[in-house]
C-alpha cells in the first residue's frame, strides 16, 4: 500500500427534516486502527459511513481525510482512497462477476491485471463463478463479490457496513481474516455492524443511541 | 428414417414433374404471356406461408396446455419455414407486380398483408432470440404467436377494405380472374400439393435436427446428463 | 377478523391506484410524454410554417405521434418493476388477472391523458377544424384502448427478456397495425367532415374486445409458470 | 388462522444448465412444524424456497401444498397461503411502508384494516416511520417491514430466507418470538439460514452440502 | 504492482464499453434495432400508401423519428442505473467527467447507429433521391450529437431528482428545440437539392459544442453534490 489515510470527524451532525440522527461526533482515526459504529436499526450507522465516503452531506461539521497524515484529500479524488462494502452497493446484473470488478476498477481510475482479479475472486471463493452473470449469484456470493472488489481496489480506507451479512460461517471467517490482515497493513477501517462479535476489532467505538 | 427418405424421393419427383408441367405443358396466357408461369411458384409460396403461420399457432396452443417442449420446437420450426416461404411469396409477388402493374411495391392490400406477415414472423424471432431460458422462451413466444393469430383475421378483413386492390382473388373462391383453363388449374393444384409436401419434408427434417441437438446438449457431461 | 377477502377487481383497483401513486410521486412517464408531444408538435407546426396539409397526412401524423408516445410510455409498464426488483414481490403475491387489469387500466388512462393533451394542441398548431367531435372522441378512445391492451401484454413479455426498449416496439407494432390503419382511415374521414362508416367504428371496438379477451386468456399462462 | 398447510416435497431436483444444486429431496412438513434448510453460500437454499413458493420450476419432482391436510392447493391460489421473507423481496421505494403493506395485501386479495396494519408495524417497531417512503428506510427497517407484511397477511405457511439478516439484537429477538408464536399457532415454517442458532427451531432439517 | 493508474479518458472508455456490453448482451440487439427502424418506416410509408410527400414533410418525419428513437433510448441512460441501484456504485467510485463522457459517447454511438440504419430505409421507402450526401451526413451527425448531449444531461437530472423529473424533461424541451428546428430546415433544403447556408451548419456545430461544454461544467456539480 503506497499511502495511508487518517480520518478526522469534526463535530459531524446529521439530521433529516424530521429527526436528528447524531450530533457533534468528533473522532480521529489513525492508519491501522479500526473504528466500529454500533447502534440499533435506523440509528444512522450507514448514514455516517455514507457521510464519510462523501455520498451524503453532513448537516454541520465536516470530514477530513488526510493522505499520509498531512495532505487533505479533495472530494473528487476520494474515490481512489475509499473502499465501501455496503448492502446498497449493487453490481451490474447482466455482467459477470469478473467484468463487474474489472469495470469498477477502471471507472475508479485503475486498471487491474486479469490474474490479479482472478486471484481476489479465488480468495473469496468465487473463482468457479467468475464468468457467470451476477444475476445468477446468490446473496452470499454477491456479498463475497464486494470483498473481491475491495481486494482489487485495495484502498487505504475501508468502510464496512454489515460486512458479514448473508455470509455463511466460512464467509464470516474469511471477513475476519481480511480485516485482521488489513489492519496489520495499516489500513484504516470503519465498521458499522449489528453483530456483537464484530465489534471486537475496535480500537475506537461510536455508539449511536 | 427410411420412409422419410422415400417420401423425400417421391416429393422430389413430383416437384420435377410439376416444374416440367409449368414450363412445357401450361400454355402461355394472353396478357401475361410466358410470365404467367410465376403464378405457380408465387401462389403456393403465399399459401404455405399463411398455412405455416396457422400451424405454428396451433402448436403454440398445444404447448401452453401441455408444457411439453416438443410442441414449442414444432411451433418454432413451422414459423421458421413459414418465414422462408413468406419471403419467396413476397419476392415472387414483387416480380409479378413489376411485370403486371409496373411497380415492385405499392402497398397493394395483398402486399400489405404479406408484409405484415413478414413483420410478425420477424418479431417473433426477435422475441425468441432475446430469451435464453428454454421454458421461458417457449412460454412467451407461444403466447405471442397466439396473440398474433388472433389479430390476423383483422388484417385479412380490414386491409382489402381500405385499399383498392388490383390483386386477383386467390383460388379458393375459385372465380379466378384470369380465365384458368383446366390444365392451368390442375397444374396449380398440383403445385400447391407439391409445395405442401415440400414443407412437410423440410419440417420433419428440421424437427429431427433440433431434437438431436437438444439431446446432445442434455447428454453432455455438464448439464442435465448429470442427473 | 382484521382482514377481509377481496375479489380480483378490487385487487386490480389496488394495482391501478399503486401505479398512479408511484407515477404521481415520480412523474416519469407523464414528463416524458409531455415532452414528446410538445417537441413533435412544435417541430411539425414550425416546419409546416402555416402551410396547410392534407387531412390524410394530418391523420397519419396524429396517429404516429400517439403511437410513439404509447411506445415510449407503456414500455416501462413491467420493465421498471423488474429493474427495481419489485416484480418478484408482485409475482409472489398478486393475482394474474388483477395485475393485467390494473396495468391495462393504468395504460389506458395514461394514453387518454396524452391524447387529451395532444388533440387540442394538434388542432391548434395545424389549424384544423373539427365538427364531428363525438366521432373523433370515439375513434380516439377505442383506438388508444386497443393500443394499450396489446402494449400491456407485450410489455410483460418484454420484461422477461433481456432486450428491452426497441424489442417492445418491434413486437407490438405488427399486432397494432390493423387498428392503426383503421383508426387513421376513420380519423381522415372525420377531418374531412365525413361520418366514418359503422363497420369502421365497429371494427375498432371489436378489435379492442378481441385483444383484451385474448390478453386475459394468455396472461395467466405467462404469470403462473 | 382458518386453515393449516401441509407441505410435501416429492423427489425435488433442481439443476441449472451447468450444475446440479440438489436432487431427490423428499420431505413432509406438518402444520406447526419448522423445517430448516442449511448449507454454504450458493448451495441452493433460496432456490429451494423459491421452488416451494412456485416462483421457480423444479427440474424434476414436485411440490404438493395441501390445505388442512387434504385439499391440494392450485398454483394460482398459492399466493393466499404463502408468506415469503427473502432478501429478494423488494418494496416500492416511492411508497411509504404503510402503503406498501396495504397495497400488497390488497393485491394478494385481502383488505386489511388500517389499525391492523399499524398494529403490525408497531409490533416490528416501525410505527414511527410508517408514513415515510421506503427509500428512506435503513436496511434493517426494510427487513422489519417484511415481517410486518407477514403479520398482516398472516398466512399458514411461512418461507423465511435469512430472516434475521441486517437486524440488530432486538430485531433478532423479535424474529425468534414471532417464529415461536407462529409455531404454536400451527403455522408451517420453512427457514433457510446461515446462522447456527436459528437452526435450533428445527423439527426437521435439510442440509444442502 | 498488480494495478496501474488510468487517466479519466480511459475510465470514460471503460464506461462506454460497459454500457455497450450491457446493451449487446443480447446478441440480436442490433437485429432488433433494425426491425425497429423498419417497423417505424413501414408504418409511415404504409399509411402514406404510396402518396408522395413534400420534402419539408419528409425532413420533418425523419427528425421526428430520430427524436423518438433518441428519447426512447437515451432517456433511460441513468434512470436504469438508478432503478437497478447501480447508480450508488457508480457515484461511489467513478469520476464525474468520465461518466459524462462515457455516457455521452454511448448515446452518440447509439444514435449514429440508428441513423445509419434509418436513412437508407427512409430514402427507399419514401423513394427520395439525395444528391448532397456530404451535407446530409454533416447535418445528421451534428444534429444527433446535439440531441444526444442534451438527452444525456437531462437523463441524469431525471435520475437524481425523481420528484422533479418531469419538470426537467419539460425544461430541456426548449433547450432542444433550436437544434431540432435548424436540423429540420437544413435537411429540407438538402432534400430539395439546395446547399444549406453556412450559418446553419455553423449553428448546428456551435450548438453541440456549447451544450457539451455546458454539460461537462454542470455535471461535476451534480455528480459531487
Ligand atoms: C397472402 C399472400 C398472397 C396470396 C395468397 C396471393 C395469391 C395470389 C393468387 C391466387 C394469384 C393468382 C391469381 C390468378 O392467377 O388468377 C396471385 C397473382 C398475383 N399476385 Fe399474389 N398473392 C399473395 C401475395 C402477393 C404479393 C406479396 C404480391 C406482390 C408483391 C402479389 C402479386 C401478385 C400478382 C402481380 C399477381 C398476378 C396478377 C394477375 O395475374 O394479373 N401477390 N396471387
Ligand atoms: N438462473 C440461474 N442460472 C444458473 N445458476 C443459477 C441461477 N440462479 C441461481 N443459480 C445458482 O444456484 C446456486 C444457488 O443459489 P441460491 O441463491 O439458492 O443459493 P443460497 O443457498 O441461497 O446461497 P446464500 O446462502 O448465499 O443465499 C448459486 O450457485 C447460483 O449461482
Ligand atoms: N433521505 C432520507 N430522508 C429522511 N430520513 C432518512 C433518509 N435516509 C435515511 N433516513 C433515516 O435515517 C435513519 C438512519 O438510516 P441508516 O441507514 O443510517 O440506519 P442504520 O443505522 O444503517 O440502520 P441499519 O442497522 O438498519 O442499517 C433511518 O431512520 C432512516 O429512516
Ligand atoms: Mg445500515
Ligand atoms: Mg439465499
Whether chain E lies against chain B with 3 or more Cβ pairs closer than 8 A is yes
Query: Helix (H, G, I), strand (E, B), or coil: what is residue A82?
Result: strand
Could D140 and A41 be called an inter-chain contact, meaning their C-beta atoms sit closer than 8 Å?
A: yes
In SS3 terms, B153-209 reads as: HHHHHHHHHHCCCCCCCCCCCCCCCCCCCHHHHHHHHHHHHHHHHHHHHHHHHHHHH
A56-83 confidence digits (pLDDT tens): 889 999 899 998 878 888 877 888 899 9
Could E28 and B107 be called an inter-chain contact, meaning their C-beta atoms sit closer than 8 Å?
A: no
Residue with cell 402555416: C50
Q: Which three cell numbers stand for residue E42?
A: 413501414
pLDDT of residue C50: 65
Mean pLDDT estimate for chain E: 80
Return the sign of the alpha-carbon dihedral for residues E132, E133, E139, E140. Answer: positive
D65-100 confidence digits (pLDDT tens): 998 878 888 888 888 899 999 999 999 988 999 999
Per-residue confidence band for B28, with pLDDT thresholds at 50, 70 and 90: low
Q: Is B106 on the interface with E (CB under 8 A)?
A: yes
pLDDT of residue D97: 95
Q: Is D41 on the interface with B (CB under 8 A)?
A: no
Residue B34 has pLDDT above 80, yes or no: no
Could D194 and A41 be called an inter-chain contact, meaning their C-beta atoms sit closer than 8 Å?
A: no
E78-107 confidence digits (pLDDT tens): 777 877 788 889 988 888 889 999 999 988
Distance CA E107, CA A126 (A): 34
Neighbours of chain A (3+ CB pairs under 8 A): D, E
pLDDT of residue D78: 84
pLDDT, mean of residues C120-134: 87
Residue ranges of the alpha helices (H) in A124-168?
139-153
Mean pLDDT estimate for chain B: 79
Cβ count near A77 (within 10 Å): 12
Cβ count near E38 (within 10 Å): 19
Residue C107 has pLDDT above 80, yes or no: yes
pLDDT of residue C200: 82
Per-residue confidence band for A172, with pLDDT thresholds at 50, 70 and 90: very high
Per-residue confidence band for A1, with pLDDT thresholds at 50, 70 and 90: very low
Residue B169 has pLDDT above 70, yes or no: no
Test the E interface: residue of A56, A88, A107 with most E CBs within 10 Å: A107
Residue B162 has pLDDT above 70, yes or no: no
CB of D120 shorter than 6 A to ligand 3: no
Q: Which of A78-87, B190-199, C106-115, D23-32 has the lowest mean pLDDT?
A: B190-199
Angle between helices B134-162 and B39-65 (to 10 degrees): 130
Q: Is C67 on the interface with E (CB under 8 A)?
A: yes
Chain E residues touching B130 at Cβ < 8 A:
26, 28, 32
Closest of B39, D93, E41 to residue C26, by C-alpha:
D93
Could B227 and D57 be called an inter-chain contact, meaning their C-beta atoms sit closer than 8 Å?
A: no
Cβ count near A5 (within 10 Å): 24
pLDDT of residue E80: 74
Amino acid at each position: 500500500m503506497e499511502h495511508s489515510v487518517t480520518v478526522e470527524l469534526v463535530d459531524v451532525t446529521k439530521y433529516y427534516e424530521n429527526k436528528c440522527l447524531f450530533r457533534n461526533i468528533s473522532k480521529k482515526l489513525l492508519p491501522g486502527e479500526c473504528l466500529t459504529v454500533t447502534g440499533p436499526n435506523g440509528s444512522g450507522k450507514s448514514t455516517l459511513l455514507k457521510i464519510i465516503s462523501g455520498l451524503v452531506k453532513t448537516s454541520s461539521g465536516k470530514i477530513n481525510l488526510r493522505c499520509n497524515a498531512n495532505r487533505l484529500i479533495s472530494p473528487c479524488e476520494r474515490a481512489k482512497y475509499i473502499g465501501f462494502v455496503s448492502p446498497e452497493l449493487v453490481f451490474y446484473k447482466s455482467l459477470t462477476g469478473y467484468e463487474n470488478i474489472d469495470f469498477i476498477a477502471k471507472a475508479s481510475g485503475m486498471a487491474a491485471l486479469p490474474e490479479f482479479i482472478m486471484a481476489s475472486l479465488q480468495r473469496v471463493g468465487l473463482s468457479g463463478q467468475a464468468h457467470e452473470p451476477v444475476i445468477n449469484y446468490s446473496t452470499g456470493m454477491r456479498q463475497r463479490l464486494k470483498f473481491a472488489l475491495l481486494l482489487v481496489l485495495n484502498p487505504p480506507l475501508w468502510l464496512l457496513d454489515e460486512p458479514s451479512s448473508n455470509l455463511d460461517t466460512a464467509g464470516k471467517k474469511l471477513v475476519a481474516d481480511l480485516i485482521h490482515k488489513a489492519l496489520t497493513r495499516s489500513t484504516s477501517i470503519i465498521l458499522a455492524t449489528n453483530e456483537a462479535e464484530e465489534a471486537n476489532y475496535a480500537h475506537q467505538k461510536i455508539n449511536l443511541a | 428414417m427410411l420412409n422419410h427418405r422415400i417420401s423425400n424421393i417421391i416429393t422430389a419427383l413430383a416437384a420435377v414433374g410439376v416444374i416440367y408441367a409449368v414450363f412445357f405443358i401450361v400454355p402461355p396466357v394472353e396478357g401475361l404471356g410466358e410470365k404467367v408461369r410465376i403464378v405457380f411458384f408465387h401462389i403456393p409460396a403465399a399459401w404455405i406461408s399463411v398455412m405455416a403461420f396457422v400451424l405454428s399457432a396451433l402448436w403454440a396452443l398445444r404447448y401452453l396446455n401441455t408444457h411439453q417442449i416438443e410442441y414449442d420446437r414444432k411451433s418454432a420450426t413451422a414459423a421458421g419455414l413459414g418465414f422462408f416461404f413468406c419471403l419467396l411469396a413476397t419476392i415472387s409477388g414483387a416480380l409479378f407486380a413489376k411485370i403486371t402493374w409496373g411497380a415492385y411495391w405499392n402497398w397493394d392490400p395483398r402486399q400489405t398483408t404479406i408484409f405484415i406477415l413478414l413483420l410478425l414472423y420477424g418479431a417473433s424471432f426477435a422475441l425468441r432470440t432475446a430469451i435464453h431460458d428454454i421454458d421461458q422462451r417457449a412460454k412467451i413466444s407461444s403466447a405471442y404467436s397466439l396473440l398474433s393469430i388472433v389479430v390476423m383475421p383483422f388484417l385479412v378483413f380490414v386491409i382489402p377494405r381500405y385499399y383498392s386492390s388490383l390483386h386477383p382473388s386467390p383460388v379458393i373462391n375459385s372465380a379466378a380472374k384470369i380465365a384458368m383453363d383446366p390444365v392451368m388449374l390442375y397444374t396449380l393444384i398440383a403445385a400447391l400439393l407439391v409445395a405442401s409436401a415440400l414443407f412437410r419434408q423440410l419440417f420433419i427434417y428440421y424437427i429431427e435436427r433440433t431434437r438431436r441437438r437438444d439431446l446432445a446438449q442434455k447428454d453432455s457431461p455438464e448439464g442435465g446428463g448429470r442427473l | 377478523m382484521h382482514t377481509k377477502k377481496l375479489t380480483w377487481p378490487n385487487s386490480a383497483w389496488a394495482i391501478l391506484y399503486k401505479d398512479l401513486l408511484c407515477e404521481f410521486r415520480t412523474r416519469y412517464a407523464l414528463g416524458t410524454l409531455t415532452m414528446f408531444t410538445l417537441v413533435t408538435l412544435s417541430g411539425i407546426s414550425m416546419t409546416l410554417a402555416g402551410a396547410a396539409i392534407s387531412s390524410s397526412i394530418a391523420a397519419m401524423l396524429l396517429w404516429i405521434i400517439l403511437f410513439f408516445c404509447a411506445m415510449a410510455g407503456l414500455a416501462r409498464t413491467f420493465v421498471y418493476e423488474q429493474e427495481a426488483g419489485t416484480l418478484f414481490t408482485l409475482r409472489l403475491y398478486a393475482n394474474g388477472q388483477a395485475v393485467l387489469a390494473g396495468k391495462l387500466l393504468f395504460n389506458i388512462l395514461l394514453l387518454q391523458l396524452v391524447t387529451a393533451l395532444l388533440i387540442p394542441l394538434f388542432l391548434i398548431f395545424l389549424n384544423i377544424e373539427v365538427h364531428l367531435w363525438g366521432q373523433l372522441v370515439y375513434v380516439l378512445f377505442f383506438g388508444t384502448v386497443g393500443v394499450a391492451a396489446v402494449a400491456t401484454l407485450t410489455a410483460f413479455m418484454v420484461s422477461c427478456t433481456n432486450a428491452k426498449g426497441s424489442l417492445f416496439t418491434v413486437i407490438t407494432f405488427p399486432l397494432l397495425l390493423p387498428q392503426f390503419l383503421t383508426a387513421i382511415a376513420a380519423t381522415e374521414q372525420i377531418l374531412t367532415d365525413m361520418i366514418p362508416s359503422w363497420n369502421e367504428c365497429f371494427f375498432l371496438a371489436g378489435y379492442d374486445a378481441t385483444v383484451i379477451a385474448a390478453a386475459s386468456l394468455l396472461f395467466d399462462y405467462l404469470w403462473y409458470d
